[in-house]
Structures are given as C-alpha cells and as structure tokens.
Amino acid sequence: MNAQGGKIVFRVDFEVNILDVSQTQIKVSAYDYSTNDNYPGDPKNKQNIIDFFQNQWIDKSKAELILSDGQLRDIKLNKILK
C-alpha cells in the first residue's frame, strides 16, 4: 500500500459476476476479493471496496478467468449433451 497524493494504492484480486460482454470489455460486479495488503485486508474497508466495483466495465485484457474443476466438468458435459 502506498499513499500517493492523498490516494491509497493497493492490490486486490476480485471475485466477480460477469454481467455483460462487449468486443473489448466486460461488465462486472464484485462479491468478494483476496489481498495481502493491509488497507483492503481490514474488515471495516471491505464493503466499501466491493461497493466501488459494482457494475464496472473493465478491459478484457485486465481480467483472468479462473474456473474450478466442477465448473470445467459442467462445461464439458454441456458440450457433450448438445
């Protein structure tokens, strides 16, 4: 975490729901996050950080899709059943 010009800079990895997709961006709403930084790690700041990341458009290049084994299995089953 760094204070830069009155701003607090930190890193979090959000867990999001994808609401919409365009050619270059995705619209997301956060429901949780993980971090190793002190400010976002403080429970009193968590809801404000999540609230900030509601209905936000982000570049696809800044997103990383992570699926569980169960989700991958469901995708494969759906392809087979179609």
For 10-46, how does the pLDDT look when each residue is reduced to its tens digit (9 = 90+)? 999 999 998 999 999 999 999 999 999 999 999 999 9
Distance CA 23, CA 21 (A): 7
- Asked whether residue 65 carries a pLDDT value surpassing 50, the answer given is yes
E strand spans, 1-82? 2-4, 7-9, 13-21, 25-34, 56-59
Alpha-carbon distances, residue 2 vs 41, 50, 51, 70, 77 (angstroms): 14, 20, 21, 38, 46
Q: What is the pTM of this model?
A: 0.69
Q: Kindly list the strands in the beta sheet with 25-34, ordered across the sheet, starting from the edge strand earlier in the chain.
A: 13-21, 25-34, 56-59
